[in-house]
Structure 1
C-alpha cells in the first residue's frame, strides 16, 4: 500500500471580468478495491455552489457554479489517497474467450456495447491500414496482443506535449506519427473497438518517483482500459508502455475524451485574452515536508 498526496491546480485568467455557467469537475478518484481517498480538500475562487454526484459511469463529479463576475477562476484539489496496486503477473488463463478474436458473454456484451462501437470515422482508411499491420495470428492471447499494441504505439509515435486542445482524431495521429498522452490513449481505444474489444478512455494522474523519464507527469494523464474475460477492466498506457501499473491513478472513465475532461464549463461575456495554467504534483506522503 502506498500513501500519495496529489495537488491539482487549474488557473484561468481573463483580460476582462466574466461570469460563469456551472462547471463539471472530474478531480477525485472514486473509492475502490485499488484506491481509497483518505482526505480531499477542494479550494475554489470565486466561491460558489458546490454539489457532488456520481455520473452514469460511477465517476465522482463536482458540480461547481462560481458566483459573480471575476477575471480569475482558480480550482485547487488536494488529495491524500491510499493505493493498493495489483499488477499483471504471469497469469495462466485457460478461458478460450480470452484468445483472439475476443468473445464476450451475452450479459457482458449488453453492458459493454457502448464501449465496443467506434466513436470516430476513418473515411480514408488510414487507421484501419495501420491497425491491420499490427494484428497477430488468430491464436494469440488477447492479453499478449494488447501488451504488444501498447508497446507498439509507445515505440512508433513521437511524444509531443500539448496542454490545451481536444484529443486528435486517431487517423490524424496515425498520419502525423506524433501526439500527446490523450492522443495515444484515444488511438488505442478506437483501434481496439474496431477489433471488437470493449475499450474506454481514462484520465487521472501519473506517479513516477523512480521513473524520471515517464511521459505525462506534471499534468493530468490519459490512458486506455480494455475489458477482458477473467480479468475485467485492465489498464494500458501507450504513452509509457505501462500495463496495470501502480503509477497510474485513475480519476474518471468515459466513452470519449471530451466526456472525461477534468474541468469543463462555459463563461458569459467577452473575456479578451485568456490564459490557462495547469499543474499536477503527485508524491509519496512520507516525502512531504513536516508541518510547522
Structure 2
C-alpha cells in the first residue's frame, strides 16, 4: 500500500471582472478496493456554494457556483489517498470468451452497450483498418492483444504536450502519429470499440518519483479501461505502456473525453483576454510539497 498526497491547483485569470455560472468538478476519487480516500478538501479564491452528487457512472461530482464577480478564480483540491498495488501478473484464463473475438454474455452486454458503440465517425475506415492491422487476425488471448496494443501506441506514437483544450479524433491521431495522453487514451478506446470491446475513458493522476521517467506526470492524466469477461474493468495507459499499475490514480470514468473534464463551467460577461494555469503535485505522504 502507498499513501500519497495530491495537490491540484487550477487558476483562471481574466482581463476584466466576470460573473460565474455553475461549475462541475471531477476532482475526488471514489473509494474502492484499490483506492481509499483518507482526507479530502477543496478551497476556492472566492465564496462559492457547493453540492456533492454521484453521476450516472458513480463519479463523485462537486457542483460549485462562485458568488460575486472577480478577475480571477482559483480552485485547489487536496487529497490524501492510499493506493493498493495491483500488478498485472500472468493470469490463467480459462474462460474462452476472454479471447479474440471478444464475447460478452447477455447480462453484461446490456450494461456495456454504451461503451461498445463508437462515439466518433470513421468515414474512410482508416481507424478500423489501423486497429485490424494491429490485431493481425490470428487467435490470441484478448489480454495479450490489449497489452500488445498498449505497448505499440507507447512505442510508435510521439508524445507532445498541448495546452489547448479538447481531444483529437482517433483517426487524426493515427494520421499525425502524435498526441497527448488524452489523445492516446481516446485512440485506444475508440479503436477497441470497433473490434467489439467495451472500453471507457479515464481521467486522474499519475504518480512518478521522477517526473522525467513518465509522460504526463505533473498534470492531470488520461488512460483507457477495458472490460474483460471474468476479469472486469482493466486499466491500460498507452501513453506510458502501463497496465494495471499502482501509479495510475483514477478519479472519473466516462464514455467520451468531454464528459470527464476535471473542471468545467461557464462565466458571465466579457472577460477580454484570459489565462489558465494548472499545477498538479503527487508525492508520498509526509514528503515536502512544492512551493505553491
CA shift digits 1:193-232 (9 cap, x unpaired) = 0000000000000001157320000100000000001110
CA contact (8 A) 2:223 2:237 kept: yes
Q: In the alignment, which residue of structure 2 is the partner of 1:173? A: 173
Instruction: Quickly say closer, same or farther: Cα 1:156–1:87, change in 2 above 3 A.
Output: same
User: How far apart, in 1, do the equivalents of 2:136 and 2:117 lie?
Assistant: 21
TM-score (normalizing by structure 1)? 0.97
Unaligned runs of 5+ in 1: none
Q: Say whether 1:214 aligns with 2:214.
A: yes
Please state whether the residue corresponding to 1:226 is helix, strand or coil: strand
Q: In the alignment, which residue of structure 1 is the partner of 2:279? A: 279
Q: In the alignment, which residue of structure 2 is the partner of 1:112? A: 112
- CA offset at residue 60 of structure 1? 0.3
| Count of aligned residue pairs for this structure pair | 289
Q: In the alignment, which residue of structure 1 is the partner of 2:149? A: 149
Please state whether the residue corresponding to 2:213 is helix, strand or coil: coil
Please state whether the residue corresponding to 2:119 is helix, strand or coil: coil
CA contact (8 A) 2:211 2:218 kept: no
User: How far apart, in 2, do the equivalents of 1:86 and 1:237 lie?
Assistant: 14
- CA offset at residue 149 of structure 1? 0.4
Unaligned runs of 5+ in 2: none
Between 157-166 and 254-263, report the one with greater CA deviation.
Answer: 157-166
CA contact (8 A) 1:136 1:145 kept: no
Instruction: Quickly say closer, same or farther: Cα 1:137–1:125, change in 2 above 3 A.
Output: closer
Please state whether the residue corresponding to 1:287 is helix, strand or coil: coil
User: How far apart, in 2, do the equivalents of 1:210 and 1:65 lie?
Assistant: 36
CA contact (8 A) 2:224 2:237 kept: yes
Q: In the alignment, which residue of structure 2 is the partner of 1:94? A: 94
Q: In the alignment, which residue of structure 2 is the partner of 1:185? A: 185
User: How far apart, in 2, do the equivalents of 1:256 and 1:47 lie?
Assistant: 31
CA contact (8 A) 1:4 1:282 kept: yes
User: How far apart, in 2, do the equivalents of 1:211 and 1:55 lie?
Assistant: 32
CA contact (8 A) 1:218 1:279 kept: yes
- CA offset at residue 127 of structure 1? 1.1
CA contact (8 A) 2:2 2:82 kept: yes
- CA offset at residue 286 of structure 1? 3.5
User: How far apart, in 2, do the equivalents of 1:47 and 1:162 lie?
Assistant: 31
Q: In the alignment, which residue of structure 2 is the partner of 1:14? A: 14
- CA offset at residue 47 of structure 1? 1.4
What is the CA RMSD across the aligned residues, in angstroms?
1.0
TM-score (normalizing by structure 2)? 0.97
